[in-house]
């Protein structure tokens, strides 16, 4: 279980784009802990300098401040790289509805530049962040690869387009690509601030500050909230996946189902506060329920997540208590 037994030769060089962000910085940390080298490429648009400063004194860590919208930057960043873990993108469904052109340029052209650079520089594997949003309005649960519905936001379009481009790079240019369809990831270093913050860190911060959080909708929506360590495991195992599994996208989740209202009251209890939430309108582009069938990743990547929601939320709360 997990990724303890995953091993790479010590001179292996990973490139993590978006490495100054939440998931990317957790990937950088895990790679350094394995004794390998990591180059982080990030434009610090939503990522943080402090997530770079954490590792900058480690001789196995290198930081390039740069934008994946620039092919030249991507080419330089891929020099000598064994594995690319492409996380750079802007998240948030509502923000993508406000700025579709930016999402196309940043999330689609950016990833296409990275694919092209990885191909030209002879990278071994290209693992990239996709999203459960590619399931759109498909109503059946659990969500299963190959059964996708109509897309509900420019963000979802950007992730779907990335998957299609990645498939072309496997088909025509022999680059082994693996798409990670993350389902609502949470854990240390996820940004609790701003209008587009994810719900778990936002609620934890508000409750710790004695503020009243707002739940969009009735709180009866459910998600397959996934602790970030499971996402790290999936990325590292995808780097060692067989060629036969390339050109595919995989659900990366725990395979559970949590209701937002239960999470809310779980947090108030764990934090020892007695605050009733406000309820606001549903958000455009959101679906009511989402949970994942993870059998494809289990079978083809050897993915075997060992962080349940309960175990992960305890670790996340502890981290926010110490770091907020």
Ligand X SMILES: NC(=O)c1ccc[n+]([C@@H]2O[C@H](COP(=O)([O-])OP(=O)(O)OC[C@H]3O[C@@H](n4cnc5c(N)ncnc54)[C@H](O)[C@@H]3O)[C@@H](O)[C@H]2O)c1
Number of residues forming the site for ligand X (CB under 6 A) = 30
149 close to 160: Cβ distance less than 8 angstroms: no
Tokens coding 199: 């719900």
Under the binding rule (CB under 6 A), the answer on residue 40 touching ligand X is no
Max CA pair span of the chain? 58
163: left (phi over 0), alpha (psi -120 to 50) or beta: alpha
Residue 299 to residues 3, 91, 208, 242, Cα–Cα distance (Å):
15, 28, 41, 11
Residue selected from 8, 31, 46, 303 as contacting ligand X according to rule CB under 6 A: 46
CB of 164 to ligand X, least distance (A): 16
Q: Which is nearer to ligand X, 23 or 161 (CB)?
A: 23
Which one of 17-25, 205-213, 255-263, 306-314 is the stretch in contact with ligand X (CB under 6 A)?
A: 17-25
Among 263, 264, 255, smallest CA distance to 293 is for 255
Segment near ligand X (CB under 6 A); pick from 38-46, 214-222, 284-292, 303-311 = 38-46
128 is catalytic: no
Pick the catalytic residue from 83, 155, 178, 303. 155
CA distance 64 to 41: 5
> At its nearest, how many Å lie between ligand X and the CB of residue 96?
10
* The residue to which tokens 């590292």 are assigned: 236
Told to check if 24 binds ligand X by CB under 6 A, we report yes
Distance CA 83, CA 73 (A): 17
Residue entry with tokens 């609620």: 203
- Residue 49, interface with ligand X (CB under 6 A)? no
Please report whether residue 145 would count as binding ligand X according to CB under 6 A: no
Determine which residue in the list 30, 77, 93, 110 makes contact with ligand X, applying CB under 6 A. Answer: 110
Window 152-191: contact mask with ligand X (x via CB under 6 A): ------------------------------x-xx-----x
Looking at beta carbons only, is 23 or 127 nearer to ligand X?
23
Q: How far from each other are the two terminal CA atoms of the chain, in whole angstroms?
A: 31
Report, in Å, the least distance between residue 73 CB and ligand X. Answer: 8
35 in the Ramachandran plot: left (φ > 0), alpha (ψ -120 to 50) or beta?
left
Does residue 63 interact with ligand X by CB under 6 A?
A: no
d(CA 301, CA 316): 26
The residues binding ligand X (CB under 6 A) are 17-18, 20-24, 42-47, 67-69, 87-91, 106, 110, 129, 131, 182, 184-185, 191, 198
* Active site members: 155
């Amino acid at each position: 279980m997990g990724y303890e037994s995953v091993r790479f030769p010590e001179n292996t060089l990973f490139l993590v784009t978006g490495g100054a962000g939440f998931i990317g910085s957790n990937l950088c940390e895990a790679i350094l802990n394995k004794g390998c080298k990591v180059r982080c490429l990030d434009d610090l648009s939503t990522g943080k300098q402090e997530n770079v400063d954490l590792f900058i004194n480690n001789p196995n860590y290198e930081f390039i401040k740069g934008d994946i919208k620039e092919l030249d930057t991507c080419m330089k960043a891929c020099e000598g790289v064994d594995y690319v873990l492409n996380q750079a993108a802007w998240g948030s469904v509502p923000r993508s509805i406000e700025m579709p052109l930016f999402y196309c340029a940043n999330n689609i052209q950016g990833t296409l530049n990275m694919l092209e650079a990885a191909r030209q520089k002879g990278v071994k594997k290209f693992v990239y962040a996709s999203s459960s949003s590619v399931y759109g309005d498909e109503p059946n649960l659990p969500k299963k690869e190959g059964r996708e519905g109509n897309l509900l936001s420019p963000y979802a379009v950007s992730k779907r387009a990335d998957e299609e481009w990645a498939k072309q790079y496997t088909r025509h240019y022999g680059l082994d690509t693996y798409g990670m369809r993350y389902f609502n990831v949470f854990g240390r270093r996820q940004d609790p601030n701003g209008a587009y913050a994810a719900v778990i860190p936002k609620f934890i911060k508000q409750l710790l500050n004695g503020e009243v959080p707002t739940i969009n909708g009735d709180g009866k929506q459910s998600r397959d909230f996934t602790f970030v360590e499971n996402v790290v495991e999936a990325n590292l195992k995808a780097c060692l996946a067989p060629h036969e599994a390339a050109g595919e996208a995989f659900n990366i989740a725990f395979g559970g189902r949590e209701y937002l209202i239960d999470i809310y009251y779980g947090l108030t209890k764990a934090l020892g506060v007695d605050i009733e939430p406000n309820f606001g309108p549903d958000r455009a582009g959101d679906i009511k329920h989402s949970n994942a069938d993870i059998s494809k990743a289990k079978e083809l990547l050897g993915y075997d997540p060992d962080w349940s929601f309960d175990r992960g939320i305890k670790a996340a709360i502890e981290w926010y208590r110490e770091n907020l």
